[in-house]
Amino acid sequence: MRARSDRSQDREKAGHSGRSRGRNGRIGRKGRKPEGTAPKRWLQWVQGIMSVLVLIVLILLSYMAASYVTAPGLRLLGLELQGLPLELANTFVSFVGMMALAASAGSFFYFRERKILNALIGAMRQMARGDFNIRLDINRKRAGDYGGIVDGIYHMAEELGQMERLRQEFISNVSHELQSPLTSISGFARALQKEGLGKEEHDHYLRIIEQESRRLSKLSDSLLKLTTLESEHQPFAPRGYRLDRQLRDVVLAGEPQWSAKELELELDMPELGVYADEELMSQVWTNLLHNSVKFTPEGGTIRIAAAGSEDRVEITFEDSGIGIEAEHVPHIFERFYKSDASRQRSAGGSGLGLSIVRKIVELHGGDITVHSLPGEGTTFKVSLPQNKRG
């Protein structure tokens, strides 16, 4: 039950362990055209030329057909035309034929587009009712310019459906997490009403009710915090401050928890500044420390290290705890995810602490990674951009 703090600045100045990450950016030449522009432009030219040629061919065919039809038709009507009047009649009949053909083609394409539009409108109304299982009776290859809209509707329906599933899962998880402590409180409250209950048993029931009440309060606070972080209403006030001091304050505040388990804390954090929201980052360090304490057996070790470079600050929480199975590691930052629900419940966890940590780190433009082996411990590594020196 002791804390070791290595405040040696010379060793830190000699070389930081944090990785320096450059800013990602796009390098391009001024005026450079996007790839694929030239082929598309040539295709448009070819399509235009083909359309003109088809129109000329149709006019010639229409005129030729009129030449074979007009004279016999006029003779049936008792009219005999020659020369210029016949040519004018042929032109008139050709024009009428072209207009009839154009009207027929226009009607065909109109009704086809109208069918596509009706299908798209029906799909939007279906999604407005909350049904995202969209099936459009549209041939994608024949949709023409509407193909992009069809793809967009399918993509939107898929994303909205995923959001709806997450919402339902969230409601289910919240209901489950609330139901468990409420059931305990209700059951032990009825037990307290029994006559002849001994003082020791009476006090035991009261402690359980108090413990479950604190669990409800913590769950409510965590839900409110997570909801605020996911909205656009979270106050965000970054400023420069001493990160090493903040980490030591968090360790001292959590001393009752880690000292009760006789854990050894090793601190490796030279004087280091950071530009971040101090209150939010304090929540991150508190959650990570409590997580390490929770899953580290008595007599274990927790090591907290911090290092910085010109553009990054890296903080590591490493413990000798029970570790996490490989199949659970990718999911530990999900809301309400518990690799071992019974162990989490006995430890008072709600499954929201690490979700809050990730949201806050992402809000600062940073990232958090985890490496864990069952029986060997877990390491959380937080990397933050060093926009301004603290």
Residues 242 and 375 in one domain: yes
Residues 226 and 310 in one domain: no
In-domain check, residue 216: yes
Number of domains, the chain: 3
Within the chain, which residues score under 50 in pLDDT? 1-37, 341-346, 389-390
Q: What is the pLDDT of residue 361?
A: 93
Give the Cβ contact number of residue 247 at 10 Å: 22
Q: Which amino acid is at 277?
A: D
Q: Within its chain, how far is the Cα of 304 from the centroid?
A: 30
Q: What is the pLDDT of residue 140?
A: 64
What's the rounded Cα separation, in Å, for the pair 384 and 18? 10
**What CATH number has the domain bearing residue 374?**
3.30.565.10
In-domain check, residue 304: yes
Residues 256 and 213 in one domain: no
HEC string of the chain equals CCEEEECCHHHHHHCCCCCCCCCCCCCCCCCCCCCCHHHHHHHHHHHHHHHHHHHHHHHHHHHHHHHHHHHHHHHHCCCCCCCHHHHHHHHHHHHHHHHHHHHHHHHHHHHHHHHHHHHHHHHHHHHHCCCCCCCCCCCHHHCHHHHHHHHHHHHHHHHHHHHHHHHHHHHHHHHHHHHHHHHHHHHHHHHHCCCCCCHHHHHHHHHHHHHHHHHHHHHHHHHHHHHHHHCCCCCCCCEEEEHHHHHHHHHHHCHHHHHHCCCEEEEECCCCEEEECHHHHHHHHHHHHHHHHHCCCCCCEEEEEEEECCCEEEEEEEECCCCCCCCCHHHCCCCCCCCCHHHHHHHCCCCCHHHHHHHHHHHCCCEEEEEEECCCEEEEEEEEECCCCC
**What CATH number has the domain bearing residue 214?**
1.10.287.130
Give the Cβ contact number of residue 356 at 10 Å: 21
Among 326, 305, 311, 310, which residue's Cα sits nearest to residue 370? 326
In-domain check, residue 145: yes
In-domain check, residue 296: yes
Residues 321 and 360 in one domain: yes
Q: What is the pLDDT of residue 111?
A: 72
Of 230, 255, 272, the last residue of a domain is 230
Residues 147 and 191 in one domain: no
Residues 67 and 187 in one domain: no
Residues 241 and 381 in one domain: yes
Q: What is the pLDDT of residue 381?
A: 96
Residues 247 and 305 in one domain: yes
> Residues 35, 327: contact at Cβ < 8 Å?
no
In-domain check, residue 16: no
Of 211, 230, 249, the last residue of a domain is 230
- 52-65 pLDDT, tens digit per residue, is 777 677 776 666 66
- 181-217 pLDDT, tens digit per residue, is 788 888 888 888 887 788 888 888 888 888 888 777 7
Of 230, 251, 277, the last residue of a domain is 230
> Residues 302, 285: contact at Cβ < 8 Å?
no
Mean pLDDT of all residues belonging to the chain: 76
> Residues 94, 66: contact at Cβ < 8 Å?
yes
In-domain check, residue 98: yes
First-to-last alpha carbon distance for the chain, in angstroms, is 32
Q: What is the pTM of this model?
A: 0.55
In-domain check, residue 17: no
**CA atoms lying within 13 Å on the CB side of residue 219:** 23
Residues 91 and 206 in one domain: no
Among 375, 337, 366, which residue's Cα sits nearest to residue 353? 337
In-domain check, residue 97: yes
Residues 280 and 348 in one domain: yes
Q: What is the pLDDT of residue 319?
A: 94
Residues 66 and 104 in one domain: yes
Range of the domain at 57: 50-160
Residues 310 and 345 in one domain: yes
What's the rounded Cα separation, in Å, for the pair 244 and 255? 17
Q: What is the pLDDT of residue 285?
A: 95
